[in-house]
Amino acid sequence: MFEKALVGNKKYFTLIAILLTIILISFFVYIYQLKNGLIITGMGRDVSWGLYISQFTYLVGVAAAALMVVLPCYLHNYKQFARITVLGEFMAVSAVIMCMLFIFIDLGRPDRVLNVLLHPTPNSVMFWDMVVLSVYLLLNIVTGWMVLQYERNEVKPPLWVRTLIYIAIPWAPLIHTVTAFLYAGLPGRGYWLTAIMAPRFLASAFCAGPALLILLAFIIKRTSKFDVGNDSIQMLAKIATYALIANVFFLFCELFTVLYSQIPEHLDHFKFLIIGLEGQFQYVPLTWVSIIFMLVAIILLIVPKYRKTKVLLITACFLTLVGTWIDKGLLLMVGGFVPNPFGEIIIYWPTFFESIITMGVWSFGVLILVILYKIAIAVRCEIEL
């Protein structure tokens, strides 16, 4: 099947060439980082995790969101999705690969990464995160590829493939739960120390993932003969709506607990993000952009008339993606680390080099996604036409 990725029109190869160029450039910047150390990033002793780890967190969510197409199809027998489960699974594959790369480039001593396996440490959530992510990657590669292959030969996937799919269903929320536990179990970080961390992560994942899939579906429709179908898109939009509402609701619960209890160790972080603290307002605009985007997206998604209008649906998906990305892909770190244990306020912004490396990893993920989608769509067109 792989040969399908090797043929394509000019646009396809231009895209691949652009992605490869970005990857190459960022690879050189990464070499520069290896030589000089992580000092080339904006991180420091107080904000000791930055863009890399927050991208990782965001992408675990995107990966977990494959569940939102697989589950309706296999557990609720929602047949419309049968045509697109593979798109969800391949999106998960590319997202998990990006996750692993982001962890890797964040390490100070990447040459020693195998120590995690040489000295396995069950009390470390990081260890479990690596385990569950690797398994999830394998599950999605195997099920996505196998399902596609069997469909192409027009036979039903055998039992073992279906078993793996059923295993992958609970595994998706598992990866994001474990990722939330990375943060939620740390005693000194009031912003993260909350039992609702994992549910909130899941909610934001299950709205961002389908929103991304909807946008991808529109792109696919424009660039190929494959049409995901209006019903599927509307179904995805509904899923995103519920998840987005849950996400905002969880945020509200969080805010209530923190604001009403007034415990400074928790309150200060939220104050810093929402209204500013000690005259420092750097992240306040971003926080509000995130909240407003999510609220507007809810309105656009919840009213059927708007949801069924293509432009508004696309806008809503875009707002959802940006809103959740700011929340989880950037502010999660800042909120957690600032103020620092001594109550000082530190301002973190990613540096130019850090952003280039980040873009490189994203490009690598997109490259994998494009290639996998190319194959999947070619095969689907073959079956359906």
Partner 1 sequence: MDKIDRRLFLKIASLSILGVTAGSLLEVVNPKDFKDNSIEPLTKLKAKRWAMAIDLTAINEAIINNCINKCHVTHNVPNLRDKQHEVKWIWQEKYSAVFNEGDNDFNLTTLYKNKNIPVLCNQCDNPPCVRVCPTKATFSRDDGIVVMDMHRCIGCRFCMAACPYGSRSFNWTDPRPYIDKINEEYPTREKGVVEKCDFCMERLDRGELPICVEESKNTIIFGDIGNKNSEIYNILSRRTFLRRKEHLGTRPQIFYLI
SS3 letters across 126-163: HHHHHHHHHHHHHHHHHHHHHHHHHHHCCCCCCHHHHH
Instruction: Classify the C-alpha dihedral 60-61-62-67 as positive or negative.
Output: positive
The nearest distance, CB 95 to partner 1, in angstroms, is: 20
CA distance 302 to 196: 24
* Binding flag, residue 131, partner 1 (CB under 8 A): no
Span of 22-30, 111-119, 158-166, 168-176 interacting with partner 1 by CB under 8 A: 111-119
Distance, CA of 351 to CA of 353 (rounded, Å):
6
Per CB under 8 A, does 121 bind partner 1? yes
**Cα separation of 109 and 37, whole Å?**
9
* Contact of 168 with 143, CB cutoff 8 Å: yes
- Which position among 10, 37, 222, 385 is part of the footprint of partner 1 (CB under 8 A)? 37
> In 10 A of CB 21, how many CB atoms?
11
Q: Does the protein bind partner 1 through residue 259 (CB under 8 A)?
A: no
Nearer to partner 1, 185 or 304 (CB): 185
Contacts 24+ apart (CB under 8 A), 152-161: 152/1, 152/379, 152/382, 152/383, 154/383
Instruction: Please state, in angstroms and as integers, the Cα–Cα distance from residue 196 to each residue in 40, 185, 193, 247, 249, following that order.
Output: 34, 12, 9, 10, 11
Q: Which member of 22, 29, 49, 270 binds partner 1 (CB under 8 A)?
A: 49
* 127 forms part of the interface with partner 1 (CB under 8 A): yes
Binding partner 1 (rule: CB under 8 A), the pick from 346, 355, 359, 370 is 346
Least Cβ distance, residue 56 to partner 1 (angstroms): 11
Give min distance, CB of 271 to partner 1, in A. Answer: 15
67, 169 Cβ separation under 8 angstroms: yes
Shortest Cβ distance from residue 181 to partner 1 (Å)? Answer: 10
342 is an interface residue for partner 1 by CB under 8 A? yes
Given the rule CB under 8 A, which of 69-77, 124-132, 288-296, 351-359 is the region that contacts partner 1?
Answer: 124-132
Residues that bind partner 1 (CB under 8 A): 36-39, 43-46, 48-49, 103, 106-110, 112-113, 115-116, 118-119, 121, 123-127, 130, 182-183, 185-189, 264-265, 336-337, 340-344, 346
